[in-house]
Structure 1
Amino acid sequence: MFPIVGPDSWQEFLKRHAEMLYQCDFFSKRIVTKFGLQQYFVLVFLHLGSRKVYVTKCTRKPNATWMKEQAKKFVEHVKANCQEVTLLLRDRDGIYRSGFDKVFRDAGIKVKKNSVRAPNLQAHIERFIQSLQQKALDHFDYLVSEYVEHYHTERPHQAMGNVPLTGDWPEPKDDPPDTIPIECRTRLGGLLRHYERRAA
């Protein structure tokens, strides 16, 4: 076991191998769905040298098939980016399924499991996940409220005469419709959009 700091420490080990080393870890989020509260899992890989990350698609079932598929996609990702990766660090969480490590070994990447109850050994990726949760996922209520507002006031509904549920739809005056500019309004950075003629 390495000491955390000092000569021949874990910190020095990471510095020496940073350009060819990735850390990986899971995080999860409980989300309200039509089937009730469901837990979704995401796997994150962080390149220590550049701090760039590769994030998998989320899943409710991180089974062995999904795990191997994500491992293969990650290996393809580093090859496509011409990265030389020789070492992958991960914790000993039981969520890692059979066959996951083998994908990396077959690609020439050594998998090193950290000591039990040693989160400091995964400090870089733990910090990224913490930031992601605080800056994005903790604002889930805001995302929902923005969509509900869009649904009520901006989204046209066929069954309601193609107008928003509020019934309000700005009608331009005077000019013929084909000469009136169309405006695009957005929410959530452009994820939600609606179009309307510019009111007079």
Structure 2
Amino acid sequence: MPLSIVTALVRDLIKVPAAVLRSRVAVDAEVLALRHENAVLRRRIARVRYEPADRIWLAVLSRLVPQERWRHVFAVTPTTLLAWHRQLIARKWTFSQHRRLGRPSAAPTVKQLILRLAKENSTWGHRRIQVELARLGYSIAPSTVWEILHAAGIDPAPQRSGPTWREFLTAQAHGILAAGFLHIDTISLKRLYALVFIEHDTRRVHLAGVTAHPTARWTVQQARNLTMTLGCRTDSLRFLLRDRDNKYTAAFDAVFQADDVEILLSPPRAPKANAICERAVGTLRREVLDRILIYNEAHARVVLTGYIRHYNRHRPRQARRQLSPDSTEPPAPATATDLQAHRIRRRPVLGGLINEYRHAA
């Protein structure tokens, strides 16, 4: 406690015996005068600021005055007096000298690592996470891992949730081929259908064919043509992702199953389950079909073939770090060139509907 506070308390305590030895009438008169003075000061001062010594002194005197008289004697409320008393007790009984018993809590970095392992590995339970932490050099009990996961609202048991379609497709992208139909309305209001395939790994699009009558037999033949075009690349394919259209028959599936390709069916009315193919179909609509009039099947085949050639050879893909699907070069940071010394050449595609830009040789 500061020396100034101790001095003030001693000075005030010396005044107590003198007040006791006075006559009763003098004491009562002095009390009445002090009360009147307090009333005058309360009217003039909006808020009184008490020093620490004043608070201690009033808190000590409050134990000598009945609690029901506090409102008439003291200038502060009983709640304030009780709060001051609690602060005195809290300063005295801090228990800072006692060592905390029990096992020390895990470091925040270890907690973040536990939550990261649980998020990135949905099949790991708290014991599997504890084993992985031990291998990394963090000695922690399985029960502690369980408590950290439970406090974060994560089920400590394995199989918390199955993989999402995004996680599944990302992990299996190198072996997935997706199929989808695209309808085209001609200038004569005749509807055509195009069958397209897309490789998830490279985002390469294949046009199987265009027809006005997409029968099951026609679809099977297009599947055979595609497998012949892919050649030995079908050995790297593991899955064919398609919807439940009745044009995909057992004979269609058998064409791919002959190359050990497993058929995956998307749920009914769930286009997001085949999102990559649906996105490619949407790109074909936005960049070509919504901006050109189609005359017939031959015209549709020429237009789609020209655009898909541009799509595979030139159009950058964000999923491939701005590389085109056919590009095999590793991604490198682009360098800006001086436009005064180097020319940028434009090559129109589909009559100028789309343009490709390259540095002039």
Say whether the 8 Å CA contact 2:234–2:259 is kept in structure 1. no
SS of equivalent to 2:209:
coil
Q: Compared with structure 1, are the counterparts of its residues 132 and 188 closer, same or farther at alpha carbon in structure 2 (3 Å cutoff)? A: closer
Shift of 1:98: 4.7
User: What's the CA shift string for 1:2-37, capped at 9, x where partnerless?
Assistant: xxxx7622222111211011111001112135xxx3
Worse-superposed segment, 43-52 or 98-107: 98-107
Partner of 2:275: 123
Structure 1 spans left out of the alignment, 5+ residues: 1-5, 145-185, 191-200
Matched, 1:135 2:287: yes
Structure 2 spans left out of the alignment, 5+ residues: 1-160, 296-347, 353-361
Q: Compared with structure 1, are the counterparts of its residues 103 and 188 closer, same or farther at alpha carbon in structure 2 (3 Å cutoff)? A: closer
Partner of 2:173: 18
Partner of 1:90: 242
Say whether the 8 Å CA contact 1:31–1:38 is kept in structure 2. yes
Aligned AA (1:136): V
Say whether the 8 Å CA contact 1:67–1:96 is kept in structure 2. yes
Partner of 1:197: none
SS of equivalent to 2:171:
helix
Say whether the 8 Å CA contact 1:23–1:47 is kept in structure 2. yes
Alignment of 1:104-119 (within 5 A): 104-119=256-271
Shift of 1:100: 1.0
- Higher relative contact order (Cα pairs below 8 Å, separated by 6+ residues): 1
The CA RMSD measured in Å over matched residues stands at 2.6
Say whether the 8 Å CA contact 2:241–2:263 is kept in structure 1. yes
Say whether the 8 Å CA contact 1:64–1:98 is kept in structure 2. no
1:187, 1:51 → 2: CA distance?
20
1:187, 1:126 → 2: CA distance?
23
Shift of 1:64: 2.1
Alignment of 1:27-176 (within 5 A): 27-33=182-188, 37-81=189-233, 84-141=236-293
Q: Compared with structure 1, are the counterparts of its residues 188 and 102 closer, same or farther at alpha carbon in structure 2 (3 Å cutoff)? A: closer
The structure with more helix, counted as a fraction of residues: 2
1:188, 1:17 → 2: CA distance?
34
SS of equivalent to 1:99:
helix
Aligned AA (2:245): D
Q: Compared with structure 1, are the counterparts of its residues 97 and 7 closer, same or farther at alpha carbon in structure 2 (3 Å cutoff)? A: closer
1:88, 1:97 → 2: CA distance?
13
Q: Compared with structure 1, are the counterparts of its residues 23 and 75 closer, same or farther at alpha carbon in structure 2 (3 Å cutoff)? A: same
2:171, 2:290 → 1: CA distance?
35
2:284, 2:265 → 1: CA distance?
24
Partner of 2:99: none
SS of equivalent to 2:256:
helix
Say whether the 8 Å CA contact 1:63–1:97 is kept in structure 2. no
SS of equivalent to 1:12:
helix
Say whether the 8 Å CA contact 1:78–1:84 is kept in structure 2. no
Say whether the 8 Å CA contact 2:196–2:209 is kept in structure 1. no
Say whether the 8 Å CA contact 1:22–1:87 is kept in structure 2. yes
Shift of 1:66: 1.0
Say whether the 8 Å CA contact 1:31–1:40 is kept in structure 2. yes
TM-score normalized by the length of structure 1: 0.63
1:132, 1:50 → 2: CA distance?
17
User: What's the CA shift string for 1:166-186, capped at 9, x where partnerless?
Assistant: xxxxxxxxxxxxxxxxxxxx9
1:62, 1:107 → 2: CA distance?
24
1:127, 1:74 → 2: CA distance?
21
Matched, 1:189 2:351: yes
Percent pairwise identity: 29
TM-score normalized by the length of structure 2: 0.36
Worse-superposed segment, 71-80 or 108-117: 71-80
Partner of 1:162: none
2:237, 2:349 → 1: CA distance?
40
Aligned AA (2:277): I
1:118, 1:74 → 2: CA distance?
25
